[in-house]
Chains A and B, each alone.
Chain A
Amino acid sequence: MITGFADPFDVVLNLQRALEARLASGWLQDSTTSLGPFPPINVFQQGEDILAIIELPGIEKSDLQIQAQENTIRISGRKSVDFPEGVSVHRRERVAGEFDRTLSLPVHIDAAGIKAEYRDGILALFLPRSESDKPRTIAIK
């Protein structure tokens, strides 16, 4: 007598439930987070201004270009990963290549006031909102 097996329908139903749970978890669904072009960008608000923080480890400053125009910022450049000659590579996970990304912002940017800082593999772009774009308070007489 076989005692180790439960109801075979249970097994099938459990599989069905597991598959449905997979679908409900957001897997195989469209999402914008973490799925996008390189480099990944986080945009924060700092008072009236905008701060964009970009994860870009191991880039030469000379290989990075930042262009600003009205409400768009373009970040382009190349990332290279080099190995010395005659080594045996055990593991290769870091990616290398060219990238070009344009970020559109809902506000106009004061292009002259943009500050870019690259430290510890993080590029921080300080984007001040232009004066003409700021809301004005109108006094009622």
Chain B
Amino acid sequence: MAAKQELQVQQKREIETKEEATLPTRTYVPTTDIFETQDALNVVLEMPGVEKTNIDVTVQEGILNVEGRLDFSKYKSLQPLYTEYNVGHYARSFRLSSKIDESKIAAELRDGVLTLTLPKVEEAKPRTIQVR
């Protein structure tokens, strides 16, 4: 029998910015999968603990910005005994390589996983050229 592949924990990567934040909270980089289909670019980000209303997605000058804010109030009354991970907000931005129709961006949050569908504009879609 082949050995099952055990899942290893992924270290949370803290965001590195030149500017300092006004709030002394940590911000982490969400782990992301990106894949491209014929008509859209799909971005899947893991942001556990972030609620639907606390997510901001913007596309400006070819830069996709995703921000997820965590509600710390749930942790206030708790006394930690043993901790393995730290909590904080999530932020990440990507430079988009293809033209995106900003008005048609769709976002879906399910079980802490944010799925963004960024449809390409018509002229950016691949065309098949018939050879005669």
Chain A residues packing against B (C-beta within 8 Å) = 32-46, 50-51, 55-59, 79, 81, 83-84, 86-100, 118, 120-122
Quote the shortest CB–CB distance from B13 to chain A (angstroms): 10
Residues of B within 8 A of A98 (CB): 4-7
Q: Which residues of A contact B80 (CB under 8 A)?
A: 42-45
Partner of A38, one of B9, B32, B42: B9
A45 / chain B contacts, CB cutoff of 8 Å: 78-81
Number of A-B contacts (CB under 8 A): 136
Contact A34 B48 (CB under 8 A): no
Instruction: Assess A34 versus B7: contact at CB under 8 Å? Given A120-B50, A120-B51, A121-B48.
Output: no
Q: Is the CB of A93 within 8 A of B7?
A: no
Q: Which residue of B4, B8, B83, B113 contacts A95 across the interface (Cβ within 8 Å)? A: B8
Beyond the given pairs A45-B80, A51-B78, 7 more chain A to chain B contacts, judged by CB atoms under 8 angstroms and listed by A's residue number, are A34-B84, A42-B84, A44-B80, A88-B36, A89-B34, A90-B36, A91-B33
Q: Which residues of A contact B112 (CB under 8 A)?
A: 56-58, 120-122
Closest 5 CB pairs of A and B: A121-B112, A121-B48, A57-B112, A44-B78, A97-B7
Of residues 71 through 97 on chain B, the ones whose CB sits less than 8 Å from some CB of chain A are 75, 77-86
Instruction: Give how many B residues have a beta carbon under 8 Å from the other chain's beta carbons.
Output: 40
Chain B residue numbers with a CB within 8 Å of A42 are 80, 82-85
Closest to A44 in B: B78
Least CB distance, A103 to chain B, in whole angstroms = 9
- Please report the C-alpha to C-alpha distance between residue A98 and residue B7 in the assembled complex, in whole angstroms: 6
In the bound complex, CA of A34 to CA of B46 (Å): 17
